[in-house]
């Protein structure tokens, strides 16, 4: 009897699923004030391009001659107008002295004829007065007038000769100036192509002079950056040798058109402050200050 009651009780318990214990579930812990996972920001776009300067030229010979003196060598910092080298100018100097002497002679000749004309003018006035008074003849008056007019022509001729002498003087002074090889702007002598005693001809390269600043970096950006990068924006420039040493630069020029061949735009930025290890001719990396929202 007791066994029957136990079996009946066991059957009732298995028939009622609501009375079965639920599996234990560990609740998720939530900490107040802690934000959820944050998406990693996109890497900033990095371009590359050469570092250049506004002024960087070969200094050419302007006249033929022999190099008599070299005053600046590679690495020398020079100021605008500073002497770099000199071409033999002895013959030109002698010719210039002769032209100056001719000029002084023309100036003296003009002054003589101006004095002579002043006297002839006085003689003409006196002859006219005497003719009006009946003291001299018409021939005397015409002679005085002829002398005065002739003096005026001599003044014109002397003035013309003086102008020619001045023009010759300027020509020789210019040719003499060409014997002085001078720095065209402030900068550094990057290369020297000549040596003392060498004969040069017009157009021969003598020096390569480069400005040292401001440094500019030219680079290109994909078309999608058009509108998100503007003139005046800040970028960061670094060299391949020291990528961690970044230098601020400001965008100073952007091409108004897109290159259809590469779907890119040309950009130029000017470095701000001290350039550090950066030099003209280096290839630099250019990092944009912020990622473009249009970057895929």
The rounded distance, in Å, linking the Cα atoms of 281 and 216 is: 10
Give the burial class of 246: count Cβ atoms within 10 A of its Cβ; 0-12 exposed, 13-18 middle, 19 or more buried: middle
Percent of the chain with pLDDT over 90: 64
Q: What would the pLDDT profile of 87-100 be if each residue is shown by its tens digit?
A: 999 999 999 999 99
> Domain for residue 246, yes or no?
yes
Q: What would the pLDDT profile of 236-266 be if each residue is shown by its tens digit?
A: 999 888 888 899 999 999 998 999 999 999 9
Count of structural domains within the chain: 3
For residues 129 and 254, state if they share a domain: no
Structure tokens of 152? 């005026």
For residues 242 and 126, state if they share a domain: no
Q: How many CB atoms lie within 10 A of CB 123?
A: 17
The C-alpha angle with vertex 256 and arms to 254 and 257, in degrees rounded to 5, equals: 120
Residue-averaged pLDDT of the chain: 85
Which residue range is the domain that position 276 belongs to?
A: 46-53+212-288
For residues 96 and 166, state if they share a domain: yes
For residues 191 and 79, state if they share a domain: yes
For residues 99 and 160, state if they share a domain: yes
> Domain for residue 217, yes or no?
yes
For residue 4, is pLDDT > 70? Answer: no
Q: What would the pLDDT profile of 26-69 be if each residue is shown by its tens digit?
A: 444 444 444 544 444 456 889 999 999 989 999 999 999 999 99
pTM above 0.75, yes or no: no
For residues 107 and 126, state if they share a domain: yes
Q: DSSP code of 81? A: T
Q: What would the pLDDT profile of 119-159 be if each residue is shown by its tens digit?
A: 999 988 998 999 888 888 889 889 999 999 999 999 999 99
> Domain for residue 7, yes or no?
no
For residues 145 and 222, state if they share a domain: no
For residues 71 and 197, state if they share a domain: yes
* Crossing angle of the two packed helices 138-178 and 90-133, in degrees rounded to 10: 160
Structure tokens of 106? 């023309």
At 291, phi and psi to the nearest 5?
-70, 145
Q: How many CB atoms lie within 10 A of CB 273?
A: 8
Contact between 266 and 277 under an 8 Å Cβ cutoff? The reply is no
For residues 165 and 114, state if they share a domain: yes
> Domain for residue 12, yes or no?
no
For residues 61 and 192, state if they share a domain: yes
For residues 116 and 236, state if they share a domain: no
For residues 195 and 244, state if they share a domain: no
């Amino acid at each position: 009897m007791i066994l029957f009651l136990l079996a009946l009780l066991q059957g009732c318990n298995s028939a009622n699923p609501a009375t079965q214990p639920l599996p234990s579930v560990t609740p998720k812990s939530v900490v107040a004030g802690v934000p959820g996972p944050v998406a990693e920001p996109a890497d900033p776009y990095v371009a590359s391009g050469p570092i250049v300067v506004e002024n960087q030229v070969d200094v050419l010979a302007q006249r033929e001659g022999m190099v008599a003196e070299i005053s600046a060598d590679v690495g020398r910092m020079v100021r605008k107008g500073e002497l770099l080298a000199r071409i033999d100018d002895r013959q030109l100097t002698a010719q210039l002295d002769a032209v100056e002497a001719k000029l002084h002679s023309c100036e003296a000749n003009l002054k003589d004829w101006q004095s002579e004309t002043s006297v002839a003018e006085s003689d003409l006035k006196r002859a006219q007065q005497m003719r009006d008074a009946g003291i001299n003849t018409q021939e005397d008056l015409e002679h005085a007038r002829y002398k005065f007019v002739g003096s005026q022509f001599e003044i014109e001729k002397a003035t013309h000769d003086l102008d020619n002498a001045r023009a010759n003087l300027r020509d020789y002074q210019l040719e003499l100036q060409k014997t002085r090889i001078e720095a065209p702007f402030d900068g550094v002598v990057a290369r020297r192509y000549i040596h003392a005693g060498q004969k040069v001809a017009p157009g021969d390269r003598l020096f390569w002079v480069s400005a040292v600043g401001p440094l500019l970096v030219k680079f290109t950006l994909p078309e999608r950056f058009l509108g998100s990068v503007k003139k005046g924006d800040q970028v960061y420039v670094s060299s391949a040798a020291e990528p961690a040493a970044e230098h601020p630069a400001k965008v100073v020029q952007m091409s108004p058109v897109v290159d259809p061949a590469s779907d890119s735009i040309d950009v130029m930025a000017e470095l701000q402050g001290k350039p550090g290890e950066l030099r003209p001719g280096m290839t630099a990396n250019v990092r944009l200050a912020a990622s473009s929202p249009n970057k895929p």
